[in-house]
Chain A
Amino acid sequence: MSVQRRQRFGAFAALFSVPFLWALVFMIVPYLVMISVSFWTRQFPLFVPDFQFGNFVQIFSDPQYTTVILRTLKIAALVTLGALALGYPLAYFLVFTVRSEGLRNLLYMSVIVPLWVSYLLRAYTWKIILGTDGAVNSLLRMVGLIDEPLTVFLYNQTSMVITLVYIFVPFMVMPLFAVLSNIPKALIEASEDLGVGPFMTFWKVVFPLSLGGVVAGATMTFCLSFGDFVAPVLVGGPDGTMVANLLQSQFGAALNWPLGSALATLVLVLVLAVLQVSSRMDRAGRVGLG
């Protein structure tokens, strides 16, 4: 081993030890602890180390839990579709219709900035918009369309989907904007030159090349909305309980950490599976744009 290589190894060790130890102690170990607690038993008020699958059996057999898990899957899927339906046209418009570079950048910025602006408050605004005395109801009453406040707006699954779509649309636009920007305009011109109309050009050229962005955006939206617990509390009703709320109660009122850890492990596994599938799809669907 030459002096230079030894120095290089020293530099690597010095640089790498900090993040490695951090990731080990505060990520890998906690995840492992959580996973092992999911196999424990509860003997109220204590949790006893054990290795049994009772918590998982309970999650998958008790309709109280399966209903919530299926509902959460449904809502996350609806949110993903909703965000895609709103985000794709917007990204397409930004990339292909807006001619001025400056305006495009400004608009793009205005789409993605809300993504990071107070998540709690953005969920909360929908409570004041959709509430019984909220903006929509009072506005409708003011113009005389209704006499009694409508209750269809708040505390149900629709309000949750609306709120979550609102929160996650920028997550969808970001990767779509990136892939669409990378499609050379000449490809579209070539397709039109070959006598293919705008719709088929979109369907045969633009859309296939943008699939990577669709997959990336859908993955983020699905994973994050699946684990959301603020929106259900603020705008969801009795039929709006999601997995995260179940989780929350296991660590609160229900005081069953092993079961809660099992639920959290389930979310972790689901997210890892979705990430794995999406990275496969992304790799398979990646088309080289030389």
Chain B
Amino acid sequence: MHALRWWQKGMVGVSVAVLAFLYLPIVILVVFSFNDSSVTSFPLAGFTLRWYQAFLSNAAMLKALANSLTVALFATAVSVIVGVTAALALDHFDFPGKRLFQNVILLPLSLPGIVTGIAMLNFYKQIGIPQSLGAVVIGHATALLGVVVSQVMARLAKLDRRVLEASADLGAAPLETFFKVVLPAIRTSILGSALLCFTLSFDEIPVTYFLTGREVTLPIYIYSTLRRGITPEINAIGSVIVAVSFVLIVLSVTLLRDRK
């Protein structure tokens, strides 16, 4: 084991500090969700589960939760169907305007959600679609398309062309090759990006904010509650969301990572 030089030690210090910076706020959120006080301040006032009981008996919040789950489920399904076909088309074929098409589909990855939200709001207004959860589903699916396309395309790019040729050489027609060779190779990337889409849709604010009608999703509910003030109930539901998201994301990242 070789000794670290002083500047490397400094680097370790910075890194540990950054990791702490990333996790301390989450820890604080969780700690205060169990704190028996209606203000989020130290010293801690003892352990309680009442904030969790509070949100479990908050009908409006539970309704918003159910809306969020429904929206996330449908948005994910659409994103995966449209995204996987887009990735396959982009990977298999050359056609004029291919780069432009790819850039358009990937644009929402680096475009603030608010622009997508406003663009769709304008569009809906023109063709007369009312603001609703259905409108939100379409908005989410569109904004998250890039996640699926980029992940599945990255996996397809690693697929050895010769393996596809080998399948055809051995007598498999294109569809059979797709199901027996291509799909197994990209399955984990589809699953991983679906999990990612689900979590992102579940947490989405800017697009939802502009497209939703009277029915709200959980993040919008929390967001409007927060503007009125902090309640520890938010800490409780927040801790649950963070915990579930964490599990889903870890699963997703594991699935999306390249195995060598």
Contact = CB atoms under 8 A, between A and B. Distances in A.
A129 B85 contact: no
A120 B223 CA distance: 8
A128 B40 contact: yes
Interface stretch (B58-66, B158-166, B183-191, B198-206): B198-206
B69 interface: no
B11 interface: yes
A188 interface: no
Given A33-B122, A119-B205, A223 B112 contact: yes
Interface in A203-260: 219-220, 223-224, 226-230, 233-234, 244, 247-248, 251, 257, 260
Contacts, number: 243
Nearest to A140: B42
B235 interface: yes
Contact of A129 (B25, B82, B123): B25
A135 B95 CA distance: 57
Nearest to B241: A118
A110 B160 CA distance: 31
Contact of A121 (B40, B210, B241): B241
A31 B82 CA distance: 19
B28 to A, nearest CB: 5
B19 A90 contact: yes
B249 A113 contact: yes
Given A27-B104, A234-B226, A16 B89 contact: yes
A87 B86 CA distance: 33
B230 A128 contact: yes
A164 interface: no
A68 to B, nearest CB: 14
A205 B241 CA distance: 43
A34 B120 CA distance: 8
Given A19-B89, A116-B245, A133 B39 contact: yes
B22 interface: yes
A86 interface: yes
B179 interface: no
Contacts of A46: none
Contact of A113 (B43, B92, B250): B250
B15 interface: yes
Given A113-B249, A120-B203, A125-B26, A227 B115 contact: yes
Interface in B224-250: 226-227, 230, 234-235, 238, 241-242, 245-246, 249-250
A226 B104 contact: no
B32 interface: yes
Nearest to A227: B112
B14 A111 contact: no
Interface in A43-77: none
Contacts of B77: none
Contacts of A198: 5, 7
Given A18-B82, A117-B199, A169-B21, 12 more contacts: A11-B174, A12-B93, A15-B85, A30-B119, A31-B119, A111-B18, A116-B196, A118-B238, A119-B203, A119-B205, A199-B7, A267-B112
10 contacts: A23-B101, A30-B123, A34-B122, A93-B12, A117-B203, A120-B219, A135-B32, A248-B209, A261-B118, A267-B114
